[in-house]
Structure 1
Amino acid sequence: MTAPRLLVLQPSQSDPLAKLGEWLEAEGVELHLVPLKEEPAPASLDGYQGVICLGGEMGALDDLEHPWLADARRLLSSAVSQSLPTLAICLGAQLLAVATGGQVRRGPQGPEVGVLLVAKRDAAGMDPLFADLPFTPDVLQFHSDEVHVLPPSAEHLAASPKYPNQAFRVGSSAYGLQFHIETTPEIVLNWAAKDPESAACARPTDFDLDFLAEAHRDFEEVWQPFVARFAKLVRGELSPAGCLGTQLPLV
């Protein structure tokens, strides 16, 4: 049986696949990584069974400095229209939102940074990827922009007190996560060193190496099974979310 192939869009070298890549490869998924600053994005999604879009330090609409952002949005929009399983993280989630009719802005409450909790929304209980998550899973936050308005018909799956649109699904199988699940302690420490102003918004202990190592063990316990479910979605072994719309009473 041929391994399913995922297109991985990487906007920044500072946010690699890291643990996410390890988890997907352990599930038998083939990964085609495209560093968008260095390689042109594919013209289409032919030959791919899913899409990953990672994070980066740029904004979702910074096309003047990063013209390839338009290609990322085009491919994410195409993935949604083709019902391809898609996982978009941080900047990726913002690109997915904009590509499908949502809005992104600079977060009015300042950066959201550190090891924090998000809370599942009611719709998560019926979602094939989110249903089995703990009610308040730990995540790694490091962003200054927010998804201000979700795309029309998007399902809201998780929130935080500071910025409510933390996770959402567009269509049957395209997921946006404002937070990070792919990091290692070393990646997080590198971000803090490069952006000390944002890092200062977190608790000082959040950048202690031992604390980060323990936090990442907790992340793995929760998010590796989540990624395994995403791989099942890619392989066609897990049914995507049902059609949205009003449920009529049976008579």
Structure 2
Amino acid sequence: MPTALVIGHSKTAGLRRLGPWFNEQGLDYEVKFGGDGLPESLDGYAALIVLGGAPLPYEDDRFPWLPATRALTRQAIDGQIPMLGICLGGQLLAYVGGGTVEHRKLQPEHGITPITLDAAAADDPLFSVLPEFFPMTENHVDHITSLPAEAVLLAHSDRSPVQGFRLGDRAWGLQFHPEVSAANIAAWDADDIRDVEHDGFNWEEVLRRNSVYDAENTKLAEAFARRFADIVLQAR
């Protein structure tokens, strides 16, 4: 079974619900915590998936494996190896391509958030499975404030001008988290809740919104995951 390299920025990071959907579609995956070391190349891997994390994509002093992650991202772009960058992973893709990522330049987003597709999404191999308006989970204070010149904008929200984009034919960056379910959010710890409330969000309202949109969110996240797996399999 073709295997995707998944880079996590904490030892507990994982694909969550995306993993079983990938497997059912015929795509396997291997999660590596960047702090334990990363492969020098994508040889033998059918795709690259970079998960979210705390730093900006260039804060190498905080996360010293970021240079290796950026190098693998560049390999994916240049080699047309399918890539999915989620949150920090999407910011890394934008940064490697020449875009700009900034800390608290725009308003933060937490919990289920309404996202709107841009016109180019209608013809995009991945984003075309989504409706014009869709709910996905957010949890970030950093934003992509400008895309690489050759990138194609695919989605935005009220607070984030970039929620999804494509760079080249097979690399996608997301600001949202298709892997995160309502149950995952409900399990956030006291520190997470404090951060959310510090940013002006009411925690009970966050939980209510997650519950209201959970079924729709799950259905769309599954379609999105299975389409990405199909793209990887067709690229081989």
TM over 0.5: yes
Distance 1:120 1:203 in 2: 27
Partners of 2:209 and 2:140 in 1: CA distance: 20
Residue 87 of structure 1 corresponds to 84
Correspondent of 2:111 among 75, 91, 114: 114
RMSD: 1.9
Q: d(CA) in 1 for partners of 2:189 and 2:213?
A: 16
* Secondary structure of the corresponding residue to residue 74 of structure 1: helix
Separation in 2, partners of 1:80, 1:237 = 14
Instruction: Note the residue ranges of structure 2 that are not aligned, 5 or more in a row.
Output: none
User: Equivalent residue of 1:131, what SS?
Assistant: helix
Count of equivalent residues: 234
Shift of 1:115: 1.0
Deviation at 1:109, TM superposition (A): 3.1
Structure 1, unpaired ranges of 5+: 239-251
SS of equivalent residue, structure 1 residue 64 = coil
| Per-residue deviation, residues 19-55 of structure 1 (Å, max 9, x unmatched) | 1112111112111110112x21110000011111111
Question: Who is 2:8 aligned against?
Answer: 10
CA drift at 1:181: 0.7
What is the letter of the counterpart of residue 190 of structure 2? A
Per the alignment, in what secondary structure is the counterpart of residue 38 of structure 2? coil
Tell me which amino acid in the other structure corresponds to 1:77. R
Max Rg structure: 1
Q: Which letter maps to 1:217?
A: A
Q: Deviations over 1:40-93 (max 9, x none)?
A: 111000001111111112221210121101111111111011001111100111
Native 8 Å contact 2:151 2:167 kept in 1: yes
The percent of aligned pairs where both chains have the same amino acid is 33
Preserved contact between residue 15 and residue 187 of structure 1 (Cα < 8 Å): no
Alignment of 1:172-191 (within 5 A): 172-191=169-188
Q: How does 1:20-169 map to 2 (within 5 A)?
A: 20-37=18-35, 39-169=36-166
**Alpha-carbon separation, structure 1, partners of 2:59 and 2:12:** 17
Report the more deviating stretch, 56-65 or 194-203. Answer: 194-203
Give the 3 Å change call, closer, same or farther, for CA 13–216 of structure 1 in structure 2.
farther
Q: Which amino acid letter does the alignment assign opposite residue 144 of structure 1?
A: V
Change (3 A) 1:237 1:82: closer
Report which of the two has the higher share of helix. 2
Taking structure 1 as the reference length, what is the TM-score of the superposition?
0.87
Q: Are the aligned partners of 2:3 and 2:47 in contact in 1 as well (CA < 8 Å)?
A: yes
The residue type equivalent to 2:53 in the other structure is: G
1:246 aligned residue: none
CA pair 118-15 structure 1, distance change in 2 beyond 3 A: farther
